[in-house]
Amino acid sequence: MEDAEGADAPKKKNPLIATIIAAVVVTIVGGGGGWFVGGLLAPAAQTAPAAKPAPAPAHGAEAKDSGHGGGKKEEGLPHAFTEAGGVLQLDPMTVNLAYPTENWIRLELALVFKEHPDLALAKSIQDDVTAYLRTVSLQQIQGPRGFQYLKDDIQERVDLRSEGRVSDVIFRTFVVQ
């Protein structure tokens, strides 16, 4: 019986060594897979901005240089909306809230017109929304529900003012400070 026990002893493997080997193999496979996927994604992310063509300036928005260095070039990101597509971006609105008065709200909107954009109507809508924002308190616009109520109120004001000529209001930015 001692011979049988002695023969089984060398055949048993240490479970700690098997666990370490399995962990090393999984680590190598995971690292290799990450390196491969990173190599596939990294060149695409670096070349994507360079591949985009420069947007054409909107009609009349092209800066003219008078030769005296006083010409201004349009800086920043191009506008995503144009009058030609029936979408008109309003100027940014920055007003202080009704309560607390030390808080400010900055809002950028775009109006989607059913037909051709009407600049006079857009100006009156912007004035109306600016006047409305001055009556809003911070507690009214807190959280997702408050923001949804604000969007609904502005959409309702736009619908009333435009008499159905504006189909949608797009919120570009909304910042409370």
Residue 9 DSSP SS3: helix
Do 87 and 40 share a structural domain?
no
Q: With bands split at pLDDT 50, 70 and 90, how would you rate the model's confidence at 11?
A: low
What mean pLDDT value characterizes the chain? 79
Do 150 and 101 share a structural domain?
yes
Please give the pLDDT value at position 4: 53
Do 161 and 103 share a structural domain?
yes
Helices of type H across the chain: 2-11, 15-51, 119-133, 143-162
CA dist., res. 15 & res. 10, Å (int): 14
Please give the pLDDT value at position 67: 44
Mean per-residue pLDDT for 71-86? 53
CB 68 within 8 Å of CB 99: no
Instruction: Look at residue 76 and tell me if it is in a domain.
Output: no
Q: With bands split at pLDDT 50, 70 and 90, how would you rate the model's confidence at 77?
A: very low
Total number of residues shown for the chain: 177
Instruction: Look at residue 94 and tell me if it is in a domain.
Output: yes
Do 103 and 30 share a structural domain?
no
Range(s) of the domain holding residue 18: 14-51
12-25 confidence digits (pLDDT tens): 678 899 999 999 99
Do 110 and 29 share a structural domain?
no
Instruction: Look at residue 69 and tell me if it is in a domain.
Output: no
- The CATH number of whichever domain residue 114 belongs to comes to 3.30.479.30
Q: With bands split at pLDDT 50, 70 and 90, how would you rate the model's confidence at 41?
A: confident
Please give the pLDDT value at position 133: 95
Do 118 and 166 share a structural domain?
yes
Mean per-residue pLDDT for 113-120? 88
Mean per-residue pLDDT for 135-146? 94
Mean per-residue pLDDT for 136-149? 94
Mean per-residue pLDDT for 121-145? 94
Instruction: Look at residue 101 and tell me if it is in a domain.
Output: yes
Buried b (16+ CB within 10 A) or exposed e, 23-39: eeeeeeeeeeeeeeeee
The continuous run of DSSP H or E covering 110 comes out as: strand 104-113
98-110 confidence digits (pLDDT tens): 999 999 999 999 9
Instruction: Look at residue 3 and tell me if it is in a domain.
Output: no
Q: How many domains does the chain have?
A: 2
pLDDT-wise least confident of 17-26, 68-77, 112-121? 68-77
Instruction: Look at residue 59 and tell me if it is in a domain.
Output: no
Do 161 and 102 share a structural domain?
yes
Q: Tokens for 35? A: 């390196």
Query: 108 CB contacts (<8 Å, ≥6 apart)?
Result: 89, 90, 92, 93, 171, 172, 173, 174
pLDDT-wise least confident of 35-49, 126-140, 155-169? 35-49
